[in-house]
Amino acid sequence: MALTLSEIRSYKALAQKYPGKRGSEIILRLLDELQEAGKEIVELRLKTADMAGEYDDYTPCPFGTEWKGQRLKDVDWEWLQWWFSKNMRRDAIILDMDFGPWPQRKMAVKKLRLHDYIKRRMKSQSNGQGIQQA
């Protein structure tokens, strides 16, 4: 049986209420380990997405302080539109991919994949299919 986020928060609050108790220390350590494991999972998902082809709804978002690591289908549509407005020129992204220095080329690959993903979602919206909002 899986724990809900509210249950986890209540266990953490209870453990923090009784510091120094062995059970509390164990719970807090396990929660810290769980948080670290979650971060590692996000990093692995990002690395896998870098090796794969085009982005889809389940690809982790490669950018954004709030959205990085979230599934693209869960990223706020307004944020995606804002990002697209800042990166509209596909040809400029391709130039960075082809001729930029290494870190810029790697970033350009992610930008191009995200650009194409957003473009596909925009096209599906204009075809009357709508956009799935989470």
Let me know: does 59 contact 71? Beta carbons within 8 Å: yes
Nearest residue to 53 via CA among 99, 120, 133, 134: 120
Number of domains in the chain: 2
Burial (CB count <10 Å: 0-12, 13-18, 19+), residue 47 = exposed
Res 58: pLDDT:
87
Whether the per-residue pLDDT at 130 is higher than 60: the answer is no
Res 133: pLDDT:
43
Do 22 and 47 lie in one domain? The reply is: yes
Give the residue with greater pLDDT, 69 vs 87.
Answer: 87
Do 47 and 68 lie in one domain? The reply is: no
Do 10 and 25 lie in one domain? The reply is: yes
Do 45 and 62 lie in one domain? The reply is: no
User: How confident is the model over 65-83, as a mean pLDDT?
Assistant: 93
User: How confident is the model over 102-107, as a mean pLDDT?
Assistant: 90
Domain containing residue 103: 57-128
Structure confidence at residue 132 as a pLDDT band (50, 70, 90): very low
User: How confident is the model over 47-61, as a mean pLDDT?
Assistant: 81
For residues 66 and 79, what is the distance between their CA atoms, to the nearest angstrom? 10
pTM of the model: 0.63
User: How confident is the model over 82-88, as a mean pLDDT?
Assistant: 96
